[in-house]
Amino acid sequence: MPETDGATGTTGGGYEPTARTVPSRSRERARYDRETVHSILDQAYVCHLGFVRDGAPVVLPTLYGRVGETLYVHGSTGSRPLLAAGQADPGLPVCLTVTHVDGLVLARSAFHHSINYRSVIVHGTAYQVTDEAERRMALDALVDHVVPGRSADSRPANAKELAATAVIRLDLNEVSAKLRTGGPNDEPEDMGLPYWSGVVPVAPVHGTPIPADDLAPGIATPDYLAAL
Amino acid sequence: MPETDGATGTTGGGYEPTARTVPSRSRERARYDRETVHSILDQAYVCHLGFVRDGAPVVLPTLYGRVGETLYVHGSTGSRPLLAAGQADPGLPVCLTVTHVDGLVLARSAFHHSINYRSVIVHGTAYQVTDEAERRMALDALVDHVVPGRSADSRPANAKELAATAVIRLDLNEVSAKLRTGGPNDEPEDMGLPYWSGVVPVAPVHGTPIPADDLAPGIATPDYLAAL
C-alpha cells in the first residue's frame, strides 16, 4: 500500500471515514484500506446498485468494472438508473454494495448465529460517461471484470452497440469495507450446551466451461478460463 | 402452485405486476409466480436492503428469513434501518433484492457478454415487529434460513437477547423475479469469429464443516449440515 495516493491526494493509502461509512455497530469489522476494498470489489461478479426513484429506494443487481479508483456500470440507454444519471444534475446519488458470503457461523445460541462475509459499500454520485475513449475503456473493464483477459479476445463494440450503451461512473471516495471472519462468539455460560458449533465454509466454484451449441469446430477452450 | 392464495386473496398464485416490477428492458426475463420467487429467496444467504436516509440511498447486506408471504430482517436495536422502520410512520419504504450468479456468459462480441442469474426484487414498506410470538417465529426463521433445521438444535434467545434484537417485516406483495439462462446471444454475422463462446457455470459450494476450537468432545457434526 503506497504512503500517498496520487489520484486522491490522501495519505496512508486509505479512504477517509465519514459519518456514512462508520458503521453504527460492529465497528471493529470496518476497513478503509484500498487493498482490502479493491480485493473485495475485484472478486465479485455483481454489485447491488441503490438509488432513489420517486422518493422510494430501488436496488438493482448489475455488472460493474473497476479502473483504479473508479467503478463503471453499464446498461441500455433505455435503463432507468442510467437515464436518471444522465438527466440528473449534478448526477445521481447512489449507493453501490458488493458482498461475498464466506461461511455460515453456527453458534450454540440462536442469537449468535451469523455469517462470515466481506462487503464493500460505496456512497457517491454517479455520472454518465460521455468521453468516447473513457466509454471504451469502461466497457473493456466490464468484460475483463467477468473474465480477466477476455476483452482482448472478443469483438470490440461497434458504433451501433456503443450508441446503445450507457455507461456511468462512480468514483471511490466515500468507501468502506466490512468483514467478519473466524468462529462463533458464544457466551461463556453456553459453552457446555450440547449443540454442535462451528463454521461451514461457502465459496463460489466455477464449473467446466460449456461451449456454445454453435461454436465453430477447432476453437479450443482459452487458457484464461482455466485461471478462474 | 395453488389456484388461490389464502394470504393475499390473489388468484393464479402469482404477484400482480406493477409499474415498479415490470422491468424497463429484457421483460421476457421477468417472472411473477410465487414458486420461482420463493425458490430464489430461499436459496440465498444474504439480501441487499435498500432504504433512503437523509435523501440518499443506502444498500446494506443482511440476513433474512421467509415465512410464507413475509420476509423478516433482524438486527441490533441500535441499527439505523431498524430504528428508522420503528420510528417512521407509516413504516420505512424499502427495496430488498436477492441475486444468484449462475454462470458467466462469454459471447463472441464484447457487447453480448453477460451473466446467467436469478434475482428477486421486493418493493414495500418495512414495519417493526412488536408481537412477541411473531418476533420469536421470525428469529427461528432467520436461523433456519441459514441452516434448515438449526433453530431446533440451538439455545433459543433469552429475554435479554430478545430485548436487544429488532425485527422488521416486509410483506411480499410488489415482487418480481428476473432471470437469464442459457448460452450467449451472438449476432448472426459474428458466428464465424475465432473467439471461444459459451458459459462458465458458477455455483456456491459448501466446504467441510469446521468445528469451533472449543467444541466439547463427543459432539458429532449434525446430519442437517450434510444436507446443505
Q: What is the DSSP string of A160-210?
A: HHHHHEEEEEEESSEEEEEEE-SS----GGGTTSS---EEEEEEEEE---E
Instruction: Give the domain range for residue A97.
Output: 27-203+222-226
Is A21 part of any domain? Answer: no
A50 touches chain B (CB under 8 A): yes
- Which among B59, B153, B155 is the nearest to A50, CB-wise? B59
CA–CA separation, A205 and A200 (whole Å):
15
Residues B69/B8, Cβ–Cβ less than 8 Å: yes
CA–CA separation, B180 and A212 (whole Å):
15
CB contact under 8 A, B212 and A197: yes
CA–CA separation, A65 and B115 (whole Å):
14
Peptide bond into A90 cis (omega under 30): yes
Q: Which chain B residues contact residue A119 at CB under 8 A?
A: 61
| pLDDT confidence of residue A29 | 93
Query: Within 10 A of B206 (CB to CB), how many other CB atoms are there?
Result: 15
Please give the share of chain B, as a percent, with pLDDT higher than 70.
90
Is A115 part of any domain? Answer: yes
Model ipTM value: 0.92
- Which among B109, B154, B210 is the nearest to A198, CB-wise? B210
CA–CA separation, B121 and B186 (whole Å):
28
Please report, as a single letter, which amino acid is at residue A153. D
pLDDT tens-place string over residues B74-104: 987 777 666 666 665 678 999 999 999 999 9
pLDDT tens-place string over residues B18-71: 999 998 888 899 999 999 999 999 999 999 999 999 999 999 999 999 999 999
Please state whether beta strands B46-53 and A198-206 pair in parallel, antiparallel, or not at all (unpaired).
unpaired
Strand-pair partners of B119: B99, B178
Q: Which chain A residues contact residue B222 at CB under 8 A?
A: 196
Q: Which chain B residues contact residue A120 at CB under 8 A?
A: none
- Which among B97, B106, B108 is the nearest to A61, CB-wise? B97
**Counting one residue from A and one from B, how many pairs have CB atoms under 8 Å apart?**
297
Of chain A residues 24-43, which have a CB less than 8 A from chain B? 24-25
Residues A216/B192, Cβ–Cβ less than 8 Å: yes
pLDDT tens-place string over residues A55-109: 999 999 999 999 999 999 998 777 766 666 666 567 899 999 999 999 999 999 9
The 8-class DSSP code of residue B4 comes to B
CA–CA separation, B53 and A101 (whole Å):
26
Residues A179/A37, Cβ–Cβ less than 8 Å: no
Confidence of residue A1 (pLDDT cuts 50, 70, 90): very low
CATH code of residue A33: 2.30.110.10
Is A118 part of any domain? Answer: yes
- Which among A151, A157, A214 is the nearest to B191, CB-wise? A214
Residues ≥6 apart with Cβ < 8 Å to A158? B111
A119 Cα to chain B: minimum distance (Å): 8
Query: What is the average per-residue pLDDT within B125-144?
Result: 96
Strand-pair partners of A114: A105
Cell numbers representing residue A82 in the block: 442510467
Is B132 part of any domain? Answer: yes
| pLDDT confidence of residue A42 | 97
Cell numbers representing residue B217 in the block: 468432545
Is A17 part of any domain? Answer: no
The 8-class DSSP code of residue A124 comes to E
CA–CA separation, A115 and B184 (whole Å):
34
CB contact under 8 A, A95 and B50: yes
Residues B108/A71, Cβ–Cβ less than 8 Å: no
- B52: nearest CA partner in chain A: A57
pLDDT at B119 over 90: yes
Is A4 part of any domain? Answer: no
Q: Which chain A residues contact residue B46 at CB under 8 A?
A: 99, 101, 115, 117
pLDDT at A135 over 80: yes
Mean pLDDT of chain B: 91
Please report, as a single letter, which amino acid is at residue A75. G
CA–CA separation, B63 and B142 (whole Å):
7
Residues B128/B86, Cβ–Cβ less than 8 Å: yes
B119 Cα to chain A: minimum distance (Å): 8
- Which among A20, A24, A212 is the nearest to B184, CB-wise? A212
Domain count across chain A: 1
Is B88 part of any domain? Answer: yes
Is A13 part of any domain? Answer: no
A49 Cα to chain B: minimum distance (Å): 8
> Of the candidates B102, B91, B99, which has an alpha carbon nearest to the alpha carbon of residue B48?
B99
* Interface residue of A155, A173, A197, A219 to substitute, partner B, most B CBs within 10 Å: A155
Query: Within 10 A of B28 (CB to CB), how many other CB atoms are there?
Result: 8
> What does the H/E/C string look like for B184-200?
CCCCHHHCCCCCCCEEE
